[in-house]
């Protein structure tokens, strides 16, 4: 539905927010029947009944009711009108806390109702610190107001609250036994979504302040199918550089070069791996981004090269507000070129942010983004090196003296578009421009084989996954914030943006040793894993909480590095098919109604289940291990029974409960190293966790971890299967991506079997049909050497690159 006549000039989200070409892949609908009241159409397993009066659509999949559009007749829009003397107050101007919004086009709101019949659970519409399965909005405060989608810099946000935060993705999934459906309303204005649950359905009403109804419905049937369809429109996760999946150490602020050196060497002294050290706003010359405070950072190039000599990278912060200072080259160039957002009178908008009086690059303009991208080449960004990556903060945009700490809605952008229309796109466009800058830099450094960009953003929209990761902003050092980080990240994964994380330790406040320990133990599973802290907090590098805590955090972070092959492989699937990294239990067990609202546990891919501990003093916890699978404790290797109800397990401060799901093969790298780069030549371990039939499967994806060469097939993707006591490695072929051609000179040094029946005389392995090696009973991991629940094949010397078969034979 696009417009009315006479035209009010309704805003449409530009096509570069979506991937190009998706609209050429249309499937036609077949007309099944027609009456004077309705037409019935079908495509594949989806059936659609279109009622003429009042207009409504009823969609079903395989005969199961999936979605009703406008069944409540709430599709409504404010039509174009001329000013009348008796118009209600607020039609043509609104005032709020000293701010006046001139509304030159008058009211433009548009709404519609979407009802999910037979469903009890809906998920999505981030970002907010709330439950995974969205609650009704007609409850007690604060759940008595609709969910809002309006990117804002929210100071000290509360957990368990429906309030909208820094980013917006207008995507909702509904799930019931046998069916998942998804909807995506592409609209970038302020939006509200009401959710009302009854016993028989979830009813939702959506209202946007302006724009059009541009609704996508995904009827794939399962969550992976819905997410792949959404990804065909909004894109998949850009494959990150491998280093960026390691641990990031951040703080507002690492003060100077000596501080950087001290923190960096602290990791080595305490034998804790990490990959990236971050500098916040204080590193700049008076919050002029892309400059350095030369008294604190006199030798930024040498500093970065020193880190790089140990395989480490640096990130600096670059915010979208530009200090209004004519001696600052970014400001003067942008001002001269007319690159700033305008106020309603057409002059450069002037708002307040960290540097004081600031203007904001109008990144909604492709030309401004091009110019912005050019600022990141090594000759332009003085003091930068190819080891430096970028953090975009405050890009909601945050304006300290603006309404709700953002820009006036009647500010003007490229094409004379009002800010009210494209507010939620400011963040992604800024993020895009910066990422393009790093791509450009990469191609200048190495024309053939430039680096993939790494740019972290705070604000986001549909499509941000194609650009880079986000984090959940300014959380607090409280147990409840650790807890809510899980549903927040799960929701992002379900709305196509899996590369995300929460500040480990909590941004505001001072975590004690126990909170710090538990946060790292969960944080190692965040797709983006960074410790960060507010300027006024106590220092909290991992070794500052006493020896026992240092040891526990070391174990946790090393665990992240052990898992990198598995995590990187999951990212490859996110990259090819839009699949999430962290997954709610229902995603993996879609028929198990008991887990539809579970957010106290999560899956990492399909092979691991993690139970965070989110309270102090815990010595035992209830764990739900869904039926239909076999589960192995990831430390001891012991089998746990799957039960419909939860079971109590004992825990210590040393670890949180984590399980391998039977039927999985998980690739690991077990040698402790100082960074991901230092692991590059290390051999792999395969954990083969058998299901009830004695079978398992999994895969391993490898490439240079750095460049775009994988897009030309310079990668290796192997499938592993265990069946009838034979473990085989075969090449993985996927339609739509070039076949892999990379040779990797590494081997598999250990294969660990969980769930092989214990035999008195044990087993031997026949490698390639001849060479026999005796298997040993032993521990799953050296972290729990006393538990001898695994059967281990040591030093089989299996090449990662080629096909092979290992047969397990009883002695
Ligand atoms: C707000 C960001 O959310 C936070 O992470 C950062 O440290 C401060 N801005 C200062 O740049």
**Which residue's C-alpha comes closest to atom 4 of ligand 1?**
474
Query: Of the ranges 82-86, 409-413, 575-579, 749-753, which one carries the lowest mean pLDDT score?
Result: 82-86
Q: How far is CA 218 from CA 50, 60, 70, 441, in A?
A: 17, 11, 17, 38
The residues facing 718 across adjacent strands are 700, 731
Per-residue pLDDT at 356:
98
Per-residue pLDDT at 8:
64
- Condensed to tens digits (0 to 9), the pLDDT of residues 685-741 reads 999 999 999 999 999 999 999 999 999 999 999 999 999 999 999 999 988 889 999
User: Which atom from ligand 1 is nearest to the alpha carbon of 250?
Assistant: 7
Per-residue pLDDT at 25:
72
Distance 252 CA to ligand 1 centre (A): 7
The stretch 49-63 carries a mean pLDDT of 97
d(CA 610, CA 527): 14
Distance 497 CA to ligand 1 centre (A): 21
- Condensed to tens digits (0 to 9), the pLDDT of residues 593-633 reads 999 999 999 999 999 999 999 999 999 999 999 998 999 99
d(CA 663, CA 586): 18
Question: CB of 317 closer than 6 A to ligand 1?
Answer: yes
Long-range Cβ contacts of 595-600 (<8 Å, 24+ apart): 595/624, 595/626, 596/120, 596/121, 596/133, 596/175, 597/121, 597/131, 597/132, 597/133, 598/132, 598/624, 599/131, 599/132, 599/133, 599/486, 599/487, 599/490, 600/486, 600/624
For residue 436, how many other CB atoms are within 10 A of its CB? 19
Distance 283 CA to ligand 1 centre (A): 13
Question: CB of 427 closer than 6 A to ligand 1?
Answer: no
**Which residue's C-alpha comes closest to atom 7 of ligand 1?**
252
What is Dmax (Cα atoms) for the chain? 95
Per-residue pLDDT at 210:
97
Distance 791 CA to ligand 1 centre (A): 48
The stretch 490-519 carries a mean pLDDT of 98
Per-residue pLDDT at 385:
98
Question: CB of 613 closer than 6 A to ligand 1?
Answer: no
Q: Does the structure show a pLDDT above 90 at 642?
A: no
Q: Which of 727, 734, 698, 713 is nearest to 805 (CA)?
A: 727
251, 252, 255: residue to mutate for ligand 1 pocket, most atoms within 8 A of CB: 252
Mean predicted lDDT score pLDDT of the chain: 96
37 by DSSP, 3-state: which? coil
- Condensed to tens digits (0 to 9), the pLDDT of residues 352-397 reads 999 999 999 999 999 999 999 999 999 999 999 999 999 999 999 9
Question: CB of 396 closer than 6 A to ligand 1?
Answer: no
d(CA 505, CA 510): 8
Sign, CA torsion 398/400/402/403: positive
Instruction: Give catalytic residues, as residue numbers.
Output: 393, 396, 474
The DSSP string of 327-361 is: TSHHHHHHHHHT-BPB-TTSSBP-EEETTEEEEEB
Q: Does the structure show a pLDDT above 90 at 417?
A: yes
**Full-model pTM:** 0.98
Distance 504 CA to ligand 1 centre (A): 14
The share of the chain scoring above pLDDT 90, in percent, equals 93
Per-residue pLDDT at 4:
56
d(CA 305, CA 314): 10
Per-residue pLDDT at 771:
84
User: Which atom from ligand 1 is nearest to the alpha carbon of 393?
Assistant: 2
Cα radius of gyration (the chain): 27
Question: CB of 280 closer than 6 A to ligand 1?
Answer: yes
């Amino acid at each position: 539905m696009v417009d009315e006549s006479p035209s009010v000039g309704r805003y449409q989200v530009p096509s570069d927010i979506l991937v190009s070409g998706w609209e050429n892949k249309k499937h036609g609908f077949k007309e099944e029947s027609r009456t004077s009241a309705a037409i019935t159409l079908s495509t594949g397993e989806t059936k659609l009944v279109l009622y003429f009066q009042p207009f409504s659509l009823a969609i079903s999949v395989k005969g199961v009711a999936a979605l009703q559009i406008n069944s409540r007749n709430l599709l409504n829009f404010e039509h174009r009108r001329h000013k009348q003397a008796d118009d209600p107050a607020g039609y043509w101007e609104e005032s709020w806390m000293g701010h006046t919004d001139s509304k030159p086009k008058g009211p433009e709101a548009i709404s519609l109702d979407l009802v999910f019949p037979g469903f009890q659970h809906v998920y999505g519409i981030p970002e907010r610190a709330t439950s995974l399965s969205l609650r009704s909005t007609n409850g007690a405060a604060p759940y008595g107001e609709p969910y809002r989608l309006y990117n804002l810099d929210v100071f000290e946000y509360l957990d368990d609250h429906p309030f909208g935060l820094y980013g917006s993705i207008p995507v909702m999934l509904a799930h019931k036994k046998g069916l998942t459906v998804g909807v995506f309303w592409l609209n970038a204005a302020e939006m509200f979504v009401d959710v009302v649950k009854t016993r028989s359905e979830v009813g939702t009403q959506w209202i946007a302040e302006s724009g059009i109804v541009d609704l996508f419905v995904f009827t794939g049937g399962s969550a992976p199918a819905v997410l792949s369809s959404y990804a065909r429109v909004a894109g998949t996760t850009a494959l990150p550089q491998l280093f960026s999946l390691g641990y990031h150490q951040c703080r507002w602020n690492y003060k100077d070069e000596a501080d950087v050196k001290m923190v960096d060497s602290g990791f080595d002294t305490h034998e804790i791996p990490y990959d990236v050290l971050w500098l916040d706003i204080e590193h700049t010359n008076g919050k002029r981004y892309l400059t350095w405070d030369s008294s604190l950072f006199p030798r930024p190039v040498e500093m970065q090269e020193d880190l790089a000599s140990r395989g480490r990278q640096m990130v600096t912060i670059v915010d979208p507000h530009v200090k209004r200072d004519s001696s600052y080259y970014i400001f003067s160039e942008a001002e001269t070129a007319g690159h700033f957002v305008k106020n309603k009178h057409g002059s450069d908008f002037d708002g307040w942010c960290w540097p004081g009086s600031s203007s904001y690059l109008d990144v909604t303009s492709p030309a401004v983004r091009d110019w912005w991208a050019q600022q990141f080449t090594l000759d332009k960004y003085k003091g930068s090196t190819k080891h430096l990556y970028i953090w975009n903060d405050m890009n909601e945009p945050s304006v300290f003296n603006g309404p709700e700490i953002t820009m006036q809605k009647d500010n003007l952008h490229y094409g004379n578009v009002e800010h009210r229309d494209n507010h939620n796109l400011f963040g992604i466009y800024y993020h895009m421009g910066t990422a393009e800058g790093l791509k450009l830099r990469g191609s200048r450094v190495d024309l053939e084989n430039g680096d993939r960009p790494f740019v972290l953003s705070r604000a986001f929209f549909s499509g941000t996954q194609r650009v880079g990761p986000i984090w959940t902003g300014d959380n607090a050092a409280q147990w409840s914030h650790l807890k809510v980080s899980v549903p927040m990240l799960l929701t992002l994964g379900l709305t196509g943006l899996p590369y995300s994380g929460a500040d480990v330790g909590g941004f505001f406040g001072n975590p004690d040793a126990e909170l710090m320990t538990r946060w790292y133990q969960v944080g190692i599973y965040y797709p983006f894993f960074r410790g960060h802290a507010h300027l006024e907090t106590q220092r909290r590098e991992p070794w500052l909480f006493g020896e026992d805590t240092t040891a526990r955090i070391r174990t946790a972070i090393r665990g992240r590095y052990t898992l990198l092959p598995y995590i990187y492989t999951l990212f490859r699937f996110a990259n090819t098919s839009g699949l999430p990294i962290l997954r709610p239990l229902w995603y993996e067990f879609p028929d198990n109604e008991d887990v539809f609202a579970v957010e106290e546990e999560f899956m990492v891919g399909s092979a691991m289940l993690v139970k965070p501990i989110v309270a102090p003093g815990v010595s035992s916890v209830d764990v739900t291990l869904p039926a239909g699978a076999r589960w192995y404790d990831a430390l001891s290797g012991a089998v746990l029974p799957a039960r419909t109800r939860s079971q109590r397990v004992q825990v210590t401060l040393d670890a949180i409960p984590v399980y391998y799901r039977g039927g999985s093969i998980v690739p690991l790298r077990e040698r402790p190293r100082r960074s991901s780069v230092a692991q590059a030549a290390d051999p792999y371990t395969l954990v083969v966790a058998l299901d009830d039939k004695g079978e398992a499967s999994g895969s391993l994806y490898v490439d240079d971890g750095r460049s775009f060469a994988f897009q030309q097939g310079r990668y290796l993707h192997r499938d592993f299967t265990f069946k009838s006591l034979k473990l085989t490695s075969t090449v993985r072929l996927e339609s739509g991506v070039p076949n892999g051609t990379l040779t990797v000179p590494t081997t598999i040094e250990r294969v660990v079997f969980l769930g092989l029946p214990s035999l008195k005389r044990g087993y031997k392995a026949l490698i390639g049909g001849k060479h026999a090696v005796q298997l040993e009973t032993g521990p799953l991991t050296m972290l729990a050497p006393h538990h001898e629940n695994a059967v281990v094949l040591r030093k089989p010397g299996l090449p990662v690159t080629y096909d092979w078969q290992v047969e397990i034979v009883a002695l």
